[in-house]
Copies of this chain bind each other. A is one copy, B any other.
């Protein structure tokens, strides 16, 4: 198993606080020592930091914790390998270009009996995980359904992806984060929750390490920031738990579809 973290915000926001909690689970408070990655959208641009070593020991994770990158959408993942060896090539998030946007994806869970289903050619996995193959199959299916040009109605695309995720869930545990740089989708099989922070902002305390933040000092009154995680990251806020088969779509921090 692995742990997921994501953020959708209406203003460029750093995720240092939440990532600091998540990174502890990569070797200190959790067993997810088989690599980690984090992908930041800055406008349409995207950059992903990855390491095959535990996040709690990674030089690059130290940089992410100390250097606040302001971003509207973030997807992060810490890995405990089940399918695919410990290697950079198998480290989430995975990214592909479609319709002139970078699509970024991370998966928590394990699938079985998927090779017959996930036939792909236009999008091929580079590594050896069930996760990346499922991502390629989703994008391949989307292109077959909607063609090579981005449709006007992106809601229809995410509805279609939710249907694909329902199919994948028949093969095992499929908790997914997916973004095209505009919308952030969360699909739940068994472990996914979220919180939306907005004014009046208060203090939050990390579960995994001794850090408290006062969001009222870090934000403006109009900020709206949603954080999604496998398990709650703070112990003094009300996280909303997703149900099996439930999905939610966020844009600029707000829930826009489910």
Interface residues of A (CB under 8 A from B): 42-50, 52, 59-60, 63, 67, 87-91, 96-97, 99-102, 121-127, 148-149
Contact = CB atoms under 8 A, between A and B. Distances in A.
Contact of A45 (B47, B88, B122, B149): B88
A59 B126 CA distance: 30
Task: Count this chain's copies in the assembly.
Answer: 2
B50 A59 contact: no
B60 A126 contact: no
Contacts of A125: 100
14 contacts: A42-B88, A44-B127, A45-B87, A45-B88, A45-B89, A45-B126, A47-B50, A48-B48, A60-B63, A97-B124, A100-B126, A101-B126, A102-B126, A121-B148
A44 B49 CA distance: 16
Given A99-B124, A100-B125, 11 more contacts: A42-B89, A43-B87, A45-B87, A45-B90, A45-B126, A46-B88, A49-B49, A59-B63, A63-B63, A96-B97, A100-B126
Contacts of A50: 45, 47
Contact of A97 (B46, B52, B123): B123
A51 to B, nearest CB: 8
Given A45-B89, A47-B49, A48-B48, A122 B148 contact: yes
Of A43, A90, A91, A99, the most chain B CB neighbours within 10 A belong to A43
Contacts of A123: 97
A217 B44 CA distance: 43
A87 B47 CA distance: 12
Contacts of A148: 121-122
A20 to B, nearest CB: 17
Nearest to A50: B47
B88 A47 contact: yes
A121 B150 CA distance: 10
A22 B18 CA distance: 34
